[in-house]
Amino acid sequence: MIAFSYIWLGFFLNNLQRQLSMWKPIISYLFCLFTFTVVQAQPKRICVMGSSTAYGYFPNTSIPRDSAWAFKISKYYKDRGIIDTLYNIATPGIDCYIGMPTGYTPPANRNAPNPAFNITKAVNFDPPPDVIIINFPSNGYSVFSETEIIQCLQTMKDYANARNIRCYITTTQPRNDFVQQVEREKLRSLKNLIETTFGAFSIDFWTDIVQDPPIIINPVYNLGDGVHLTPEGHTLLKNRVIQRDIFFQPVALNLGILKVAQHQNHALVSFKIDGFEQALQCRLERSMNAINNFDSITEWEDCNWPGNQRIYLDGNPAIGNNFYRMAIKSANEEVYYSQVIRLNFKTNSMLFQPYIFPNPSTGLTSLVLPPSEKEWHLNIYNEMGNVVKRVKLSSSLQTSIFKLELPHHKAGKYFIQFPGKDINSIPLIRL
């Protein structure tokens, strides 16, 4: 019986070996096919938008268009199997207003968006680009204010980011036909502002291209008209894009929703993190001009907030324009910024009124109280006028923000009252 079992086992193993030998080529083929399919799914797409530098314009020469930086990065990435498509919608002579989203209404004496060359066109390719590079280096900048230039660039970047597309902004470039020294200095100032505003999502198209002083195109890279670059200059720009590592940088997409409003004599800032993981530090910053000199007004080392949201009362906004943004430091020490929100703060002699957020609430909410007092007594009433909870709050913080819980109360409408205070009751909806 044992001998028979061994004979049967030997027969089974030999038969299995023959079967596997017969199927081995097919299995190998299927494995290779599967591997090939996975690799083929990886190539990405770039869209380049902007003016003549991005287009590849070499006036009064026979230099081919593919000598420009956009086509050079395309070749570089295609040769390495990283991309399979370059969308180039740049065109000579246009400015940053022409690149604004379709439907945008420009200020007086500014160009309207052109749907053939704008950010709306860039994001709506099918399949969409993984990366958009915006290259508006100087057209119109002798006339436009620094604030409006930065706002245009930020709007285009936000438009791409809202659609989960990584977006980079190139800096300004020098040009010799800006005759006034102040105009050339403005281009240099804008270079710095773009790098400050967009950080890791800016690309330096200035350094080495410029001869400073006197802030003109380095003669080595001047095509001859004082505006456009030689192919060698475009190679330098190509290398700057590659050095930025545009596909592998951690991307700050959908950093969150930032809202700012005047609340009596304070600025009420609310921020909700959305789509950003491993935030190590969050910092609220304020500026008077939306371009530079952003100062930190508060920061949080722990960004694991309930509901991923935080509210803050700024007790010292300036009269007039205040610009706010959130800075978030990621696990790899990169710092990313939210959109910039403007608040036109006006004098207000009204007494501070409490604010509750979020409302409606599922049971946990934040109550913002005037920072003038250290202790508060609250009564919470239901719709029948019965007190359902009495709360005592105390804080030594400059701004009094408290967590308020109604964990066991049924859904409905409640009212928070402040006995002995000249403060209106505030409604709270419990979901």
Two tokens at 264?
Answer: 């009596």
* Low-confidence winner among 13-17, 31-35, 348-352 (lowest mean pLDDT): 31-35
Two tokens at 32?
Answer: 């290779």
d(CA 58, CA 162): 34
Say what the pLDDT of residue 17 is.
Answer: 52
Longest pairwise C-alpha distance within the chain: 105
Say what the pLDDT of residue 402 is.
Answer: 78
Say what the pLDDT of residue 299 is.
Answer: 85
Query: Does pLDDT of 252 surpass 60?
Result: no
Query: Does pLDDT of 329 surpass 70?
Result: yes
45-80 pLDDT, tens digit each: 999 999 999 999 999 999 999 999 999 999 989 988
Could you tell me the domains of the chain?
44-244 (3.40.50.1110), 256-345 (2.60.40.10), 355-430 (2.60.40.1930)
Please, which pLDDT band fits residue 18 given cuts at 50, 70 and 90? Answer: low
Query: Does pLDDT of 248 surpass 80?
Result: no
pLDDT mean over 203-216: 93
Instruction: Give CA separation, 317 vs 281, 286, 320, 324, in Å.
Output: 23, 9, 9, 10
Say what the pLDDT of residue 203 is.
Answer: 94
CB neighbour class for 83 (10 Å; exposed up to 12, middle 13-18, buried from 19): buried
Please, which pLDDT band fits residue 43 given cuts at 50, 70 and 90? Answer: confident
* Low-confidence winner among 231-235, 302-306, 346-350 (lowest mean pLDDT): 346-350
d(CA 46, CA 122): 10
User: What are residue 406's phi and psi, to 5 degrees?
Assistant: -130, 65
User: Of residues 361 and 285, which shows the higher confidence score?
Assistant: 285
Please, which pLDDT band fits residue 276 given cuts at 50, 70 and 90? Answer: low
pLDDT mean over 401-423: 78
Query: Does pLDDT of 107 surpass 50?
Result: yes
pLDDT mean over 294-321: 77
Query: Does pLDDT of 321 surpass 70?
Result: yes
